[in-house]
Structure 1
Amino acid sequence: MLFYSHDNGKLADDLRKEIDAVTLTTKAADGTVTKTLDVTSLKENCPLLLSAYQEVLRDRSMGTSVREVMEDTYLDQYLLKKGAMLQMPSRIIHQDPDLWGDDVAEFNPRRFMPGGATKQPKPSCFRGFGGGKTLCPGRHFATNEILAVVATFLVRFDMKPAGGKKWEFPTTLNTAMAATIMEPDTDVEVEVDVRKGFEGVKWVVRLDDSDKTFAIVVEDKE
C-alpha cells in the first residue's frame, strides 16, 4: 500500500490531507508538539484511505476459497459432482473485466468510493479476506494494523526510490501457491526522510471504542 501510495501520482499527498484533517495536535508547556492518530477516526473519516486499502487487496491478493460440493450441481454446462472439492481463486474474480469494468488491470484508489468506478460489481465479488464460513476472523485486526502503519508513515515521512530511480514494481513470479498476497521477488530500496515541518514531533497512535464497523467485506454489512 505504501508503494502504490507513492507510485500513483498525487495519491500520497491526497491521503496526507485526509489523514492530517483527523490528526489531533497538542503542544505542551515546554514546546513539545504531540500528534495523535486514532485508527477508529481514520476508518470513519478517511474514505480515500479505506478505498485505496481495499483496492490494494483487490489488485494484489491471490487467496483461494475451497468448498465441498454437497450434491450434484450443474454450473452452466459443467457438472460438479457431490463430494468434489471446488477451488475459487480470488485473483480470477478480482481481475474479471465483466465484473469490474475495462480498467480492471489498473490500480484505481477511488474504486471503492461511491462513484469511484465506472462499474460497481456486487459486494460479494470482493474476496480480499475470503468469504462465508472461511471468512478471515482476523480481518479487522489486520486492517487496524495496516491502516495505523500506513497512515503514520505517510504523515511522518517522505519516501522516494533509492538512487534517484523511478518507482518500479517488482515481479512476483516466485510467490507460493499457498500465499494470500503476491510477494515481491526482490526488495524495494527506498530513501526515507522526516517530513518537512514535522521534525521533533512526538507521535501517538490509539484505537478508540466505536459502535461503528468498517465493512471490509459484504458479510460485515449483514
Structure 2
Amino acid sequence: MEFLVDMTTHVPSGTSPDAVDDIRGLEAKCARELAAAGHLLRLWRPPLAPGQWRTLGLFSAADADRLERDLASMPLRIWRTDTVTPLADHPNDPGNRTSTSPLNEFLATMTITTPVGATTDAISDRETREAGHARELADQGILRRLWKLRTEPGRQRTLGLWAAADEPALSTTFRSLPLYDWMVVTTTPLSAHPSDPLGAH
C-alpha cells in the first residue's frame, strides 16, 4: 500500500545550528535506509513559506501501523508533524516508471463530478477514452503515477504525479483529457529534494 505524507518541521527556537545539522544528517541517512528497504519511494519539496520546512514523501508500507513505525524512526520526527493520505490503486496508473527527463514534476488532485443526466453509455465512453489517453501520456513520460483518493457518492478523486516543462504546459495537457470538463484540478509544483531516492530529476 502507498501513502503520501506531508511532513512539516518546526525547529524549536534556540536550537543551535550544529544541532540542526546533526539531525538533518541523521535524517538523510535514515531516508537512504528506508529507500533501500523499499519503504521510501520519493521525496519532494512543495512551495515553501519563508522559514518553513516542508517535505512531501511517497511511502510504501503493508499498513498504517507499519508506516507509522517508519515515520517514527526518522530523526526529524521529534520536530515534525505528519499528515498521511492513504493512496489506493487506480486502473490507469502506469506503475513505477523511472525517468531521467528534465521536466518538472507536479502533484495534481482531480475531483471528477459526473453531470446530472449523464447516461451510462456517455460515462463509459469518456472513461474508456480517458484510460487510452492516460496510456499515451504515460508513454510520453508526462503521466508518471495515478492513485485513487477517498471519494463521495457521484464523485471520483484522483492524485496524479505529472511532468511538464511548466504549469501552462501542464494545463494544456489537462485540457486534453476526455474527462477534463467534469473535473476540478488542484496542482502543486514540486522541487527536487536532496534525499529523493531517484536523485535529481
TM-score normalised to structure 1 length: 0.24
Could you say which structure has the higher strand fraction?
2
Higher Cα Rg, which structure: 1
